[in-house]
Structure 1
Amino acid sequence: MEFNGSQNISASRATVWQRLNDPRTLQECLPGCERYEQAEDGSYDAVIAASVGPIKARFKGSARFLDLREDTGYRIEGNGSGGIAGFGKLIADVHLEDIDGGTALHYTATAQLGGKLAQIGSRLVGAVANKFLADFFSRFEKLVSECEDAAAPQSMTIVIL
């Protein structure tokens, strides 16, 4: 399965980059994420509770960020297993670019599924994956743009009587 798209985020590229590399931000923005922490080898371990059609499972997996290009992008290689629900592997490329009013995040991803996940059909899995991405980007946009607004200098009016 392949996924690609873009998301405009109302924040500077430096802020978006910082937040994309912050484990607490990612845990907060990943739907169903129960745990997201850095492992000793530099990868990240995660536990995500998810439902795909009739299949409900807690997926345990890891992600490694490769080819880091400061404030520009990286490659994510990840895998996860939901026990009898099945397993998945993901390779995604993320690229950031400046746009008027913020940053565009572009992504392309390829996923492979096995087990029951593969049996329920790519159309349903694709719909769930697209919903997951939409929820992630909605949360990420909200969190990052709020932080950007809080960091912006506030104007002040002084009245002398």
Structure 2
Amino acid sequence: MDMQGNRTLTVTQQQAWEALNDPEVLKLCIPGCDSIEATGDNAYELTNGIKVGPVSAKFKGKLQLTDISAPDSYTINFEGNGGAAGFGKGSAKVTLAPQEAGSELAYTVHAQVGGKIAQVGQRLIDGVAKSMAESFFKRFDEEMKRRYPPPEGAEPAAEEPGKLKKMWSKITGGGDAKAES
């Protein structure tokens, strides 16, 4: 299975990098994650409940971060075993880039599954993987908004109709933008 995507984040590249390297944030954001613990430098063990069609399993797995170029990118190598339900292994290349109003995260995932999970069919597996990615990013966005709320009084200009007109009025002393003859 191969999957790729990108997301615009409301936090800076550095804030996103720190969060993506924080086991507590990952535990909150990974769907079905029961635990994630550091086992060494850039190495983690996790337990995760997954349901694919009629197959449900608790997976025990390992994550290893490699090719680290902070705060720009890393590769997550993963493997997990769900007993009779099957296994999963693969890698995900994650990149972060600064943007004018936050940052952009891009990812490319290559994964293999085997056992009963593989027998449910590739379309179902792909659908569950996409759903899990969407759920992860929704949770991640919510956690980033909780950790890094916008400053008080910071309103997007689009939410204040007439703001430009009011500013122009102050500049011109109350006149409008039409040229006078």
| 1:89 aligns to 2:100 (yes or no) | no
The Cα shift of 1:41 comes to 6.1
Amino acid in the other structure paired with 2:126: G
Q: What corresponds to 2:106 in structure 1?
A: 106
Residue by residue over 1:65-100, the C-alpha shift from the partner in whole angstroms, topping out at 9 and shown as x without a partner, is: 001111101001000011100001021100001123
Q: What corresponds to 2:148 in structure 1?
A: 148
Aligned-residue CA RMSD (Å): 1.3
The list of structure 1 runs, each at least 4 consecutive aligned residues, that deviate by more than 4 angstroms after superposition, is: none
The Cα shift of 1:52 comes to 0.4
Amino acid in the other structure paired with 2:134: A
**Greater Cα shift, 113-122 or 51-60:** 113-122
The Cα shift of 1:8 comes to 1.0
Q: Is there any run of 5+ residues in structure 1 with no aligned partner, and where?
A: 156-161
Amino acid in the other structure paired with 1:111: A
Q: Is there any run of 5+ residues in structure 2 with no aligned partner, and where?
A: 154-181
**Equivalent position SS for 1:39:** strand
Residue by residue over 1:22-65, the C-alpha shift from the partner in whole angstroms, topping out at 9 and shown as x without a partner, is: 00000011111101011146410000011000001101100000
Q: Percent of aligned positions with the same letter in both sequences?
A: 37
Quick check: 1:9–1:145 contact (8 Å CA) kept in 2? Answer: no
Question: Larger Rg: 1 or 2?
Answer: 2
**Equivalent position SS for 2:148:** helix
The Cα shift of 1:146 comes to 2.4
- Pick 1 or 2: higher relative contact order, CA cutoff 8 A, min separation 6: 1
CA distance in 1, matches of 2:115, 2:32: 21
The 5 Å alignment of 1:19-98 reads 19-40=19-40, 42-98=42-98
Quick check: 1:58–1:82 contact (8 Å CA) kept in 2? Answer: yes
Normalised TM-score (structure 1): 0.91
